[in-house]
């Protein structure tokens, strides 16, 4: 299997950030699923949406000028807009735990969410719902989460610029980095229209394949050479994720952390943030370190963690065959520069 470099440090996980848990629900009927990041004690939240075709919920409240400053979970889901229903299940589960924003007459769990499009892989009538969101919460733990073709990454596909038949399998990945007494972790479900590469070496890892299907095509080089992309439906691609830290953040700093995290997408995916993608990154600050951040350092760590998690999303994926559709994984093809 390709790797970032032979000297790469251990990948780590978003759950290395104290105060967070992750759980997956993976459908058995077709490749789809959802993933929840729980912050039972609440976390300061932020978001940055860069793709032009997003599917999201509760993102407006994360704006620094708006009132609510803490969230209790973030949901990442397959199923396109249908998958947003799974966030209701996360709310129900949190409500049973007595977790939420105290509004006097009740506690209202705050659960932002983002979805990716995986309806073209199997029976599109099967998608994550409220029961799926609850199941993901039941499965959540502080242990390093499973990666690859699980949860929100189950039906993810990358490299679709020249058609689904020449694309490859995406997935979900996680990573963490530590410096200056802070931990920053990321969880990324990669369903990009573009290719995924190792940002350290520039080596392509997964993406559009050559017409014979046996090697990587290099979408950037092909487009620059004048090769015409296939006509694709906007919104059928998206990379979504969460970047989190144990630093004590304000809402404005959380938004800035999400913005910096998108640099990791841009380093590991090309092209990123397209008109056909709904790239969305949430940020969480658990505050468990008890220390305010050095934002220059934290932004650097955020971009690094997101890039590494994006790479992990394709390196841990496995091939998928559905009828005549075969989507190889990074481990099935030789990497090419």
Res. 236: pLDDT tops 90: no
- How confident is the model over 161-172, as pLDDT tens digits? 999 999 999 999
Q: What's the token pair of residue 247?
A: 């630093």
> In 180-231, which ranges are continuous DSSP H helix?
219-224
Q: Specify if 2 maps to a domain.
A: no
Which tens digits make up the pLDDT trace of 58-69?
Answer: 999 999 999 999
Question: What is the rounded average pLDDT of the residues 91-109?
Answer: 97
Q: Is residue 251 part of a domain?
A: yes
Domain of 95, CATH number, reads 3.60.70.12
Residue 5 in any domain: the answer is no
Q: What is the span of the domain harbouring residue 187?
A: 14-332
Q: What is the pLDDT of residue 4?
A: 43
Cα separation, 103 vs 125, in Å, equals 37
Read off the DSSP letter of residue 230: P
Q: Locate 126 and state its tokens.
A: 């099967």
- Do the domain assignments include residue 337? no
pLDDT > 80? residue 139: yes
Q: Please answer whether residues 167 and 156 qualify as being in contact, where contact means their C-beta atoms are separated by less than 8 angstroms.
A: no
pLDDT computed for residue 6 by the predictor: 34
How much is the pLDDT for 11?
86
CA atoms of 46 and 241, how far apart (whole Å) = 12
Residue 8, in any domain of the structure: no
Question: Looking at the 3D structure of the chain, how many domains does it have?
Answer: 1
DSSP at 213:
S
pLDDT of residue 189 exceeding 80, the answer is yes
Residues in CB range of 244: below 8 A, 6 or more apart: 14, 17, 20, 37, 43, 184, 185, 186, 283, 284, 285, 286
Predicted pLDDT at 230: 83
- Tens-digit pLDDT profile for residues 264-313: 999 999 999 998 899 999 999 999 999 999 999 999 999 999 999 999 99
Average pLDDT, rounded, for the chain: 94
Structure tokens at 89: 């299940």
pLDDT reported for residue 1: 37
């Amino acid at each position: 299997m390709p790797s970032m470099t032979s000297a790469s440090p251990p990948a780590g996980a978003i759950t290395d950030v104290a105060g967070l848990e992750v759980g997956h629900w993976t459908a058995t009927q077709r490749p789809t699923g959802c993933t929840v990041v729980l912050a039972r004690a609440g976390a300061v939240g932020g978001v940055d949406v860069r793709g032009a075709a997003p599917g999201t919920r509760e993102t407006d409240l994360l704006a620094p000028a708006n009132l609510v400053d803490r969230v209790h979970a973030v949901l990442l889901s397959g199923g396109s807009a249908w998958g947003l229903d799974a966030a209701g299940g996360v709310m129900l589960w949190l409500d049973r735990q007595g977790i939420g924003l105290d509004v006097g007459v009740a506690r209202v769990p705050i659960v932002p969410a983002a979805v990716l499009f995986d309806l073209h892989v199997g029976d599109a009538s099967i998608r994550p719902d409220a029961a799926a969101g609850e199941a993901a919460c039941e499965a959540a733990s502080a242990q390093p989460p499973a990666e690859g073709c699980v949860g929100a990454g189950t039906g993810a596909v990358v490299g679709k610029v020249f058609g689904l038949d020449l694309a490859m399998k995406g997935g979900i990945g996680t990573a963490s980095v530590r410096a200056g007494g802070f931990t920053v972790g990321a969880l990324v479900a990669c369903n990009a229209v573009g290719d995924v590469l190792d940002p350290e070496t520039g080596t392509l890892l997964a993406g559009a394949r050559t017409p014979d299907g046996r090697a990587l095509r290099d979408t950037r080089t092909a487009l620059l050479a004048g090769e015409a992309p296939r006509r694709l439906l906007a919104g059928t691609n998206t990379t979504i994720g969460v970047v989190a830290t144990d630093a004590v953040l304000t809402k404005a700093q959380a938004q800035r952390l999400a913005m910096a995290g998108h640099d990791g997408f841009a380093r590991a995916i090309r092209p990123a943030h397209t008109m056909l993608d709904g790239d969305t990154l949430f940020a969480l600050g658990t505050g468990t370190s008890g220390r305010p951040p050095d934002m220059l350092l934290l932004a650097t760590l955020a971009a690094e963690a997101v890039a590494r998690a994006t790479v992990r999303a394709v390196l841990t994926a496995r091939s998928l065959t559905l009828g005549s559709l075969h989507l190889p994984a990074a481990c099935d093809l030789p990497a090419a520069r």
